[in-house]
Amino acid sequence: MILLNRLSYNFGSNWALKDINLEVGKGEFVFLTGHSGAGKTTLMRLLYGALPVTRGQATVAGFDLHSLKKRKIPELRREVGVVFQDFKILTNRTVFENIALALIVRRMPKSTIDKRVRAIIRALGLEKKTYTLCERLSGGEQQRVAIARSMVVNPKLILADEPTGNLDFDLSMHLMDIFRQFNTHGTTVVMATHSREVLQTIPEARIVHLEDGCIAEPPAHLFMEDE
């Protein structure tokens, strides 16, 4: 699903990613860990075409990102569901509209859109907010809208950047369960997280640890059980 070969990325003189080699197979669940500034978001942004691959090679869902033309990026994004660290939902639209948008641009019939949007709204416990403008939602509710939007298209690959960062424990656990269900049905998931509790929800997942832009051994404390 993802194949990276000596992928590097710089912001001016700052190399945010250095020589990343990584292979993620179809159906895998991968946690991306690392300190703030290690390069997790930069890697995610490269993977869905928000930053250009300027050095090294990257193939995602069959697309060679190095040679990918700008006008082909929407085709890549059709296969990839993304949960951004800062949500990027449309605050002047309702919950329903935000989630439906991804299906509308795919020209799905209205009845199918309605069914799928309602199902995912139910799964994420947002029924009461279906027609609320997103600017009136709490941070955690907005985050759930962002997650719903990434999932509603049944993507081959979900890239989720700290998707449970604003949520309380119970809700994070519930959402991890939903991510896991998607994964069980064959969706590949790459999730950035700082939280050991989140890592522990999917013990069989692979951990890819970034340190200062390089892939490194995950530190032992990530695996330790809570006292």
Ligand X SMILES: Nc1ncnc2c1ncn2[C@@H]1O[C@H](COP(=O)(O)OP(=O)(O)OP(=O)(O)O)[C@@H](O)[C@H]1O
CA distance 223 to 200: 8
Rg, the chain, Cα only: 17
Q: What's the closest the beta carbon of residue 161 comes to Mg ion, in angstroms?
A: 6
Question: Which lies closer to Mg ion via its Cβ, residue 40 or residue 77?
Answer: 40
Applying CB under 6 A, does 16 fall inside the site for ligand X? yes
Which of 86, 87, 82, 48 has the alpha carbon at shortest distance from 65? 48
Q: What's the closest the beta carbon of residue 103 comes to Mg ion, in angstroms?
A: 28
Judged by CB under 6 A, the stretch of 8-16, 54-62, 93-101, 182-190 that binds ligand X is: 8-16
- Give the number of other CB atoms < 10 A from CB of residue 210: 24
Applying CB under 6 A, does 36 fall inside the site for ligand X? yes
118, 74 Cβ separation under 8 angstroms: no
Q: What's the closest the beta carbon of residue 215 comes to ligand X, in angstroms?
A: 13
What is the bridge-based pairing of β-strands 2-11 and 55-60? antiparallel
Q: Is the dihedral of CA 10, 52, 27, 84 positive or negative?
A: positive
Applying CB under 6 A, does 88 fall inside the site for ligand X? no
- Binding interface with Mg ion (CB under 5 A): 40-41, 85
Query: Minimal CB distance to Mg ion: which residue?
Result: 41
DSSP bridge pairs for 9? 17
Longest dimension (CA), the chain: 52
Question: Which lies closer to Mg ion via its Cβ, residue 22 or residue 101?
Answer: 22
Applying CB under 6 A, does 37 fall inside the site for ligand X? yes
Query: x/- binding map, residues 38-77, to ligand X, per CB under 6 A?
Result: xxxxx-----------------------------------
**DSSP state, residue 168:** -
Where do contacts with ligand X occur on this chain (CB under 6 A)? 11, 14, 16, 34, 36-42, 85
